[in-house]
Chains A and B, each alone.
Chain A
Amino acid sequence: MAAIAVHKFAQCITCHAWSPDLSMVAFCPNSNEVHIYKLLQDKWEKVHVLQKHDQIVSGIDWSARSNRIVTASHDRNSYVWNLEGSEWVPTLVILRLNRAALCVQWSPKENKFAVGSGAKTVCVCYYEQENNWWVSKLIRKRHDSSVTGVAWHPNNIFLATTSTDGKCRVFSTFIKGVDTKDSRTGPTSDSKFGEQIVQLDLSFSWAFGVKWSPSGNTLAYVGHNSMIYFVDDVGPSPLAQNVAFRDLPLRDVLFVSERMAIGVGFDCSPMVFAADDRGIWSFIRFLGERKVTSSGSTYGSQFSEAFGKLYGGQTKHGVSHDAVEPSRSRGGIHENCIKYLLYSAA
């Protein structure tokens, strides 16, 4: 399956989000701004520029039903943008952080959002109608290092976080007045805000992208040691599967269905993982074309050159060295590390 469309918006994109109707995309071109582009008659036009942050915008999420954009930045702030007329109007959210915000995500009901930060805390923000502002509640305990990824469970209460301390944790973010106690979903004894449900210590290196499967039964997260972890029965005794793969580490993962997930990372080509009938996950294939070289070594030209020198001048055949600057392209669409993956199929 090759890429459906390819468009170069900027030299480097830090983070992005699709609009609810998929006609627009908001991204940060590695600066303190957010650009929104709209597809008009087969051409992408820049329609809005959101300028409020002082430093690089590290996370953007666009809520599907309420059409609000939340942005989080290294300047320790977060803004919620509402479309009023034809202008996006920002509302500052005081996160009370003393380090950069690294990632942000709206909850499924869009009444809360979570921000992971370098201050080893997670902020869960909700809207207080009486005072007309967003309040931030911090989960200060437990994390030993920066929180790199956050993911909401479909029940709008459980939040999974990954951190550079290698662990993936699930917390309860029950807020009185915002959430309703639903006796069907899980033990009500764990309904205190900031209560840790489970801590998964599977990776011995940094953990990055984390996602729940559509039903919330399975949790997947990636480690910087070229492994992806699939966890069922998230609770006191979780069932984890460690899937090791051949190539460079992933940075983000996305569930396409209950049994299929796609990972993206330093290999520039998305990887497809699937679970078989027994529920065992494994790597299936790469998405998109891959330049396969004859001698069986499938690294980009940059690595082949390095390995050639390492193994004493043995030449690797079949890899093209035409580019003056060694590019890491592998016949795929992306030429550099892919950091985020978003679901945007209609």
Chain B
Amino acid sequence: MAATGGFVEADNAEAIITRIEHKSRKIESLLKQLKPVEALKTALEGSPPMTRDERCKSANWIVVHRALMAIKDVDGMLSSLDPEYHDILMKYLYRGLSTGDRPTCDQCLRIHEKLTEKAGLGCILRSLADTVNTV
């Protein structure tokens, strides 16, 4: 699909944030049901990459972060995650690693190792090379 460069404007950002809040509630309920893998999938789904609004990106990051920290079985999570989510997960892992927060970095590094084994260096390349769709 060719990128159209249609970036979301500020007024649409409100709609995105509402969607993210809705997603957040769904994720909390999934985590209570001890389904961290579904929670992460929900968090990664519909990530708003085509927006320059930092609030949308931060809001989605908080939601993804919550789901990431709840993952205990990394191998299990990766085996049930669709390959189409590998690239977006790698981007969020790098965002997590850049926070400098010890528990976040530990978790992100743990997942990074397994994800690289699974998806290869190409996945890292795609998350680094893509300066247009950032998370």
Inter-chain contacts of A83 with B (CB < 8 A): none
Q: A246-B122, A247-B120 are in contact. Are A201 and B2 (CB under 8 A)?
A: yes
Interface pair A245/B122, CB less than 8 Å apart: yes
**Is the Cβ of B125 less than 8 Å from the Cβ of A225?**
yes
Q: Decide if B109 touches A225 in the complex (CB within 8 Å).
A: no
Q: Does A287 sit at the interface, judged by CB under 8 A? A: no
Most chain A beta-carbon neighbours within 10 Å: one of B113, B116, B117, B122? B122
Cβ-based interface call for B132 (8 A)? yes
Q: Is the CB of B130 within 8 A of A246?
A: no
Instruction: Indicate whether B87 reaches chain A with its CB closer than 8 angstroms.
Output: yes
Given A204-B131, A205-B129, A245–B120 Cβ distance below 8 Å? yes
Known contacts: A245-B120, A246-B122. The answer to whether A311 contacts B2 by CB under 8 A is no
Tell me if A246 and B119 are in contact (CB < 8 A): yes
Residue of A224, A244, A310 ringed by the most chain B CB atoms within 10 A? A244
Bits for A67-85, please: 1 = Cβ < 8 Å to B, else 0.
0000000000000000000
Instruction: Specify which chain A residues have a CB less than 8 angstroms from the CB of B129 in the assembled complex.
Output: 204-205, 223-226, 249
CA distance A242 to B125 in the complex (A): 15
Q: Is the CB of A240 within 8 A of B125?
A: no
**Which residues in chain B, 40-94, are within 8 Å of chain A measured between CB atoms?**
87
B126 close to A226 (CB less than 8 A): yes
Q: Which residues of A contact B122 (CB under 8 A)?
A: 226-227, 244-249
Kindly provide the distance from the CB of B120 to the nearest chain A CB, expressed in whole angstroms. 3
Closest Cβ of chain B: how far from A270's Cβ, in Å? 16
A202 contact set on B, CB distance < 8 A: 2-3
Asked if A200 lies at the interface with its beta carbon under 8 angstroms from chain B, I say yes
Mostly helix, strand, loop or mixed at chain B's interface?
Answer: helix
Mask, B106-135, CB within 8 Å of A = 1, is 000100010011011111011001111100
| Binary contact readout A277-306 vs B (1 if CB under 8 angstroms, 0 otherwise) | 000000000000000000011010001000
**When A240-B2, A244-B87, A311-B113 are in contact, do A204 and B130 touch as well, CB less than 8 Å?**
yes
When distances are taken between beta carbons in the complex, the residues of chain B under 8 Å from A245 are 120, 122
- B15 at the binding interface (Cβ < 8 Å): no
Secondary structure class of chain A's binding surface, majority of residues = loop
Bound-state Cα–Cα, A226 to B121, Å: 9
In the docked arrangement, what's the CA distance between A78 and B113, Å?
A: 48
- What 1/0 flags go to A231-270 for Cβ under 8 Å of B? 0000000101010111111000000000000000000000
Q: How far is the CB of A310 from chain B (nearest CB, A)?
A: 8
A227-B126, A244-B87, A311-B109 known; A299 vs B2 contact (CB < 8 Å)? no
**How far is B120's CA from A315's CA once the two chains are assembled, in angstroms?**
18
Q: In the assembled complex, which residues on chain B have CB atoms less than 8 Å from the CB atom of A200? A: 2
Interface string of A123-152 (1 = CB under 8 A from B): 000000000000000000000000000000
A246-B119, A246-B121, A299-B121 known; A240 vs B1 contact (CB < 8 Å): yes
Once the chains are docked, how many angstroms separate the CA of A295 from the CA of B131? 33
CB-based contact B125/A226 at 8 Å = yes
Taking the closest CB of chain B, its distance from the CB of A223, in whole angstroms, is 8
Inter-subunit contact A204/B2 (CB<8 Å): no
Which of A226, A240, A303 has the most chain B CB atoms inside 10 A of its CB?
Answer: A226
Enumerate A190-225 residues with CB–CB distance to B below 8 Å: 200-202, 204-205, 223-225
Candidate in B2, B87, B123 with the most chain A CB atoms within 10 angstroms: B2
- Quick one: closest B residue to A245, CB to CB? B122
**Residue pair B125, A248 in contact (C-beta under 8 Å):** yes
A225 B3 Cβ-Cβ under 8 A: no
Docked CA distance A152–B122 (Å): 29
List A contacts of B133 (CB < 8 A): 204
- The minimal Cβ–Cβ distance linking A142 to chain B, given in whole angstroms, is 16
Using a CB–CB cutoff of 8 Å, the interface residues on chain A facing chain B are 200-202, 204-205, 223-227, 238, 240, 242, 244-249, 296-297, 299, 303, 307, 310-311
A-B CB contact pairs (8 Å), 6 listed = A200-B2, A204-B131, A223-B129, A225-B125, A246-B119, A246-B120
Closest 8 pairs (CB-CB, A-B): A246-B120, A226-B122, A205-B129, A225-B129, A226-B125, A204-B130, A204-B132, A225-B126
